[in-house]
Amino acid sequence: MYGEYVKNFDKAMDLLDTMLEKCQPFREIIQEIQKKEMCGSLSLQHHMLEPVQRVPRYQLLLKDYVKKLPQDSPDRSDAEKSLEIIFEAANRSNAAIAELEKQQKMWDVYEMLGGEEDIVDPSNELLKEGPILKVSVRSSSTAERHLFLVKEVNDVETPHCFLVSGKQRSLQLQARSQEEMEAWIQAIQESIVLSERKIDTFKAASLGPASPGHHVSQ
C-alpha cells in the first residue's frame, strides 16, 4: 500500500494542482478545509507529502535508537523488529519509484520514436541512451545518431529479440537463445561505452593542453 502511494504521489500532486487551478468550487472547498484548526495551518499538499517523508524519517530515528540501546535492554528485540519492518517498507517504496521511472523512460522513448515500435512493457527497460557515430562501410564517412538500446521487443512469434533504435531508423535483432540475446546486449553496451570514451579522448586531444589559469573538462 505504501509503495503504491509513493509511486503515484507525483501523479496525484499534478492532478491536484490542475484541479486547484481549473476548478474554482474545488479550490474554494480545499481552502476552506485548510483554514480549520485540525489542519494546523498546513496545505493539503503538505499533508499529502507527510506519508512519503515519514518512513525514511522513522527509519533514521529507529536506526539511531537501536544503535544507542544497551544490548541487554528489554526493548531491543521489539526495536530491531520495528526497524526491519520500516526497512522493508522503504525498500518497497524505492523499488516502486524505480519501476515507475523505468516505465516513464520507456514512454519517453516510445513517443520520441513516433509510437512506431511497441516497446512499452513492464518487463522491458531502457538499457542505454546517447549519441553515437554511424560509420559508412563504403565511404568511411560518419553521421551522428541518437541510439536507444532496449532490453527486448514484444513479439511472441520471434522470441529472444532486442531492438536497437535511433531517431531515423530501428534495427530488430533475434538471437538463438535468451543467454545469447543477453550476451549481445552486453557486447553492444560495452561497444557504445568504448566508442564514447574514444570520442571524449579525441575531443580532449584536439583541444590541446590547457593554458595556465584555465581548466578543460570533458
Write out the DSSP string of 42-76: --HHHHHHHHHHHHHHHHHHHHHHHHHS-TT-TTH
Average pLDDT, the chain: 77
- What confidence category does residue 154 fall into, taking pLDDT thresholds of 50, 70 and 90? low
* Cell reading at 95: 523499488
Tell me how far apart the terminal alpha carbons of the chain are, to the nearest angstrom.
44
Range(s) for CATH 2.30.29 in the chain?
115-206
- Rounded to an integer, what distance in angstroms lies between the CA atom of residue 55 and that of residue 75? 20
pLDDT at 213: 44
DSSP state of 1: -
CATH architecture of residue range(s) 1-105 = Up-down Bundle (1.20)
- Rounded to an integer, what distance in angstroms lies between the CA atom of residue 61 and that of residue 83? 9
Residue range 162-204, pLDDT digits in tens: 777 666 666 777 787 888 888 888 888 888 788 888 888 877 7
Range(s) for CATH 1.20.900.10 in the chain?
1-105
Identify which of 24, 30, 25 has the alpha carbon closest to the alpha carbon of residue 44: 30
- Class at the top of the CATH hierarchy for domain 115-206: mainly beta
Q: Which residue has the cell 503538505?
A: 46
* Cell reading at 200: 571524449
Residue of higher predicted confidence among 126 and 31: 31
pLDDT at 157: 56
Amino acid found at 141: S
- What confidence category does residue 134 fall into, taking pLDDT thresholds of 50, 70 and 90? confident
Residue of higher predicted confidence among 53 and 63: 63
Q: Which long-range contacts (CB under 8 A, 24 or more apart) does 124-127 make?
A: 124/150, 124/151, 124/152, 124/154, 125/150, 125/151, 126/102, 126/150, 126/151, 127/151, 127/185, 127/189
- Rounded to an integer, what distance in angstroms lies between the CA atom of residue 48 and that of residue 115? 34
Q: How many CA atoms lie within 13 A of 46 on its CB side?
A: 7
Q: What is the pTM of this model?
A: 0.41
